[in-house]
Amino acid sequence: MGHDIRDRADISALVDAFYRRAFVDPMIGPIFTEVAHLDLEHHLPIFTDFWETVLFRAGTYRRNALQVHLVLHAKAALQPEHFERWLHIWTTNIDEHFAGEVAERAKLQATRIAGSMLRRVQGRSGSEFETLKTRQALDERDLLAR
């Protein structure tokens, strides 16, 4: 374990190590290589922009990550186990290289992003609170059912 994630160089190293591991993973690797046909060298700076924006609000990522996942899902249905595996590799990779507040935030944000992406590709709300209902909404529904 090392220092906390401090800057773009740290994010770049993290993203590089993660995707090199993910590309050869038996479960999710084929999604990157055979379905998306991702050019890793081309996309590493884009992935770095994404995580720099997520972790440091850098504003360097200006694409639509959801749209990319929707296109992938249309080609090969992304399942909960794909997102779980992605998250496992991501968090393990962080734990092997970094420790600190930003590293913990990177794991938390990845958990939130993976959950939201899964819900969205399934055609549901991206919100982790989608199943919460207010007492008033429940009472109104009961009144309408009578």
In a domain, 66, yes or no: yes
**What is the pTM for the complete model shown?**
0.84
**Segments in the chain below pLDDT 70:** 1, 130-146
Question: Which tokens hold the place of 35?
Answer: 């379905």
How far is CA 102 from each of CA 5, 15, 16, 54, rounded to the nearest angstrom?
A: 6, 14, 17, 11
* DSSP reduced 3-state for 45: helix
Domain span holding position 90: 8-145
Separation CA 40–CA 23 (nearest Å): 9
H or E, element range at 54: helix 40-56
- Number of domains composing the chain: 1
Residue 84's CATH number: 1.10.490.10
Question: Other C-beta atoms within 10 Å of 120: how many?
Answer: 16
Is 123 inside a domain boundary?
A: yes
pLDDT digits (tens, 9 = 90+) for 84-124: 999 999 999 999 999 999 999 999 999 999 999 999 999 88
